[in-house]
């Protein structure tokens, strides 16, 4: 379970390939002071996680528990439940929040429920894997202290995350349409400013209102604005997960742990793609432009009023795949990739700070922040063993 144990196994493997055991052992031992060649068969197992691998998995387990908590709040109010999919009838059975989300994609409530189930499975799997390797599991249940929404449909249980006072980072919407890369120093403006906003109906009053015939499914502009905020928040969360898994995978040593991070990371990408499309539908016709008559929050039509540099390309709402961008160095051609994937921009501390700066943990205790950041620092400190 230690990095040095793994190094010994790796060294043994490579020198066995190279020639006679006795001669090579002497040369290798001499060349690598401080390392001991071990020939214990029990240690020659490439699948065993290193200490760094465990730190990565523990931070990812925490991140998944956080994702599961916030997605559960979305699913209780905006999802269709975990029952078999039902045909959505726009005229009945849906509450206004679900209707508003359906305006962004007719299958939106189903996708919200599916995303939630995925996050729960990610967290459960990672903790079960940690336990199977004799490592300590992660629990954030001690921090389940925040009162959530009181709107009809909520379970009323206490939460780990806050969705009712968010500063949603919408710069990813610009970043994925840009040809520049944060890992090469680029910065990106917000696509739309969403400060101190709620992403879920906070109470029954948020759900009420007079239907606005402008929308495909008539809902009040106030709840449509809340759904639009949620759409950009979905993208921010899943983009963060996408970069996080891609960044931490570069530090993994065990082949089995790499299989886990690449496989779960692929699901984060799948989520992100849907929410790119979803949020784009909130800033084009027929939904946009519109203004929340209660809060004054306006969602322009990005096609007719591009919010960044007056150019359509940086916020074109019909784009959903990554636009090719600079990567590694200026001599190589632009390429369509996940970005960022550097420690600084996409690592565990960067992800934790992204969560924190968005207001996701408003109301949490100092101990919570300390716990989260310590897990993040330990994950970022992991080094690839070979």
* 339 near Fe ion, judged by CB under 5 A: no
* 239 near Fe ion, judged by CB under 5 A: no
Rounded to whole angstroms, the Cα distance separating 217 from 231 reads 17
Instruction: Tell me whether residue 55 or residue 237 sits nearer to Fe ion (CB atom).
Output: 237
Binding to Fe ion, residues 254-293 (CB under 5 A): 268
# binding residues, Fe ion (CB under 5 A): 7
Instruction: Tell me whether residue 264 or residue 314 sits nearer to Fe ion (CB atom).
Output: 264
Span near Fe ion by CB under 5 A; candidates 59-67, 191-199, 279-287, 376-384? 59-67
Rounded to whole angstroms, the Cα distance separating 136 from 59 reads 12
Instruction: Tell me whether residue 119 or residue 221 sits nearer to Fe ion (CB atom).
Output: 119
Instruction: Tell me whether residue 217 or residue 237 sits nearer to Fe ion (CB atom).
Output: 237
Instruction: Tell me whether residue 217 or residue 276 sits nearer to Fe ion (CB atom).
Output: 276
Whether the Cβ atoms of residue 50 and residue 386 lie closer than 8 Å to each other: no
Rounded to whole angstroms, the Cα distance separating 164 from 162 reads 6
232 conformational bin, left if phi > 0, alpha if psi -120 to 50, beta if neither = alpha
Instruction: Tell me whether residue 182 or residue 241 sits nearer to Fe ion (CB atom).
Output: 241
* 69 near Fe ion, judged by CB under 5 A: no
In the bound complex, what is the minimum distance in angstroms from residue 271's beta carbon to Fe ion? 5
352 conformational bin, left if phi > 0, alpha if psi -120 to 50, beta if neither = alpha
Q: Which of 8, 12, 58, 122 binds Fe ion (CB under 5 A)?
A: 122
Span near Fe ion by CB under 5 A; candidates 61-69, 95-103, 134-142, 292-300? 61-69
Which residue in this structure is represented by tokens 């742990």? 257
Cα four-point dihedral sign 354, 355, 356, 362:
positive
* 8 near Fe ion, judged by CB under 5 A: no
Residues that bind Fe ion (CB under 5 A): 64, 67, 119, 122, 238, 241, 268
């Amino acid at each position: 379970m230690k990095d040095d144990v793994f190094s010994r196994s790796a060294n043994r493997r490579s020198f066995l390939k190279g020639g006679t055991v006795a001669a090579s052992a002497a040369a290798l031992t001499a060349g690598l002071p401080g390392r001991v060649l071990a020939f214990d068969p029990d240690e020659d197992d490439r699948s065993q996680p290193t200490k760094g691998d465990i730190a990565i998995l523990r931070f990812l387990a925490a991140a998944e528990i956080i994702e599961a908590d916030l997605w559960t709040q979305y699913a209780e109010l905006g999802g269709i439940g975990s029952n078999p999919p039902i045909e959505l009838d726009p005229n009945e059975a849906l509450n206004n929040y679900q209707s508003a989300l359906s305006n962004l994609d007719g299958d939106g409530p189903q996708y919200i429920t599916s995303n939630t189930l995925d996050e729960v499975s990610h967290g459960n799997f990672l903790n079960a894997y940690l336990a199977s390797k004799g490592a300590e599991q992660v629990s954030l249940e001690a921090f389940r202290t925040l009162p959530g929404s009181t709107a009809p449909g909520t379970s009323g249980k206490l939460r780990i995350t806050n969705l009712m006072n968010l500063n949603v980072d919408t710069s990813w919407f610009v970043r994925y349409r840009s040809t520049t890369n944060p890992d090469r120093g680029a910065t990106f403006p917000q696509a739309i400013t969403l400060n101190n906003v709620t992403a879920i109906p906070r109470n029954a009053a948020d759900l009420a209102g007079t239907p606005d015939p402008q929308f495909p499914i008539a809902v009040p502009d106030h709840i449509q604005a809340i759904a639009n905020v949620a759409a950009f928040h979905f993208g921010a969360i899943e983009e963060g997960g996408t970069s996080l898994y891609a960044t931490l995978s570069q530090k993994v040593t065990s082949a089995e742990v790499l299989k886990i991070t690449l496989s779960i990371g692929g699901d984060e990408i799948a989520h992100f793609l849907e929410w790119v499309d979803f949020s784009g539908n909130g800033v084009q016709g027929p939904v946009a432009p519109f203004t929340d008559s209660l809060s004054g929050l306006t969602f322009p039509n990005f096609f007719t009023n591009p919010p960044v540099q007056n150019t359509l390309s940086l916020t074109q709402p019909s784009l959903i795949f990554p636009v090719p961008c600079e990567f590694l160095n200026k001599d190589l051609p632009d390429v369509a990739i996940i970005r960022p994937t550097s420690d600084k921009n996409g690592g565990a501390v960067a992800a934790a700070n992204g969560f924190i700066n968005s207001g996701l943990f408003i109301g949490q205790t100092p101990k919570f922040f300390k716990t989260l950041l310590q897990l993040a620092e330990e994950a970022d400190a992991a080094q690839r063993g070979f």
